[in-house]
Amino acid sequence: MLLGKLAQPVCSLRKLPLPGGCRLFWGWLNAVFNKVDYERIQAVGPDRAASEWLLRCGALVRYQGYQKWQQDYNGLPTGPLGKYKIEAINATDSCIMYRGFDYLDGLEHVTEIKLQKCIYIQDECLQRLSETKNLQKSLLQLKIISCGNVTDKGIIALHKLTNLEYLYLSDLPGIRKKETTVHILQQALPNLELELDLE
């Protein structure tokens, strides 16, 4: 009886029009994947918890001292707490979003991040990234490619990443004032190598 009552709402999902209903479902699921579990961060440490979040969302991580990218959630390395430190993040085609960015707070060894085709990355995400104290110290390379919700405002916010050495920007239609944005970044970060592939 109870199973029948539970099955009714699930069966009624099939009656939803596919485009809208499916989009809402995936949006909800992606938001669930990005929910920060602060108890988990305390239990396993910031690098392990962030690895779990990133892989759950479809991103890849590379650990300090390793060349291979970790892409399998079930194959996450085990070992002493704090042994594996995230050095690089490749978020290509991932569903990471602003609500999960608290996972980045405890990461002290991240030197490079690639955000490519991330539909949930927007200006607030880049601002949050640039305000993360540990990333202000450690991040050296950042690539932002084909993230349609990023505008000049988000790129200008990156000026707080004071140790950033290389920034690659490509296919960002939201950037409307390219020259002004580049000028502001170069003034704030004179040692920054800026590579642009923008229309």
Q: Which residues of 79-115 are buried (b: 16+ CB within 10 A; e: fewer)?
A: eeeeebbbbbbbbeebbbbbbbbbbbbbbeebbbbbb
pLDDT at 21 over 80: no
Contact (CB, 8 A) for 63 and 46? no
Q: Which of 1-10, 19-28, 70-79 holds the top average pLDDT?
A: 70-79
How high is the pLDDT of residue 20? 54
pLDDT at 189 over 90: yes
117-174 residue pLDDT tens: 999 999 999 999 999 999 999 999 999 999 999 999 999 999 999 999 999 999 999 9
116 closest CA partner among 94, 98, 87, 135: 94
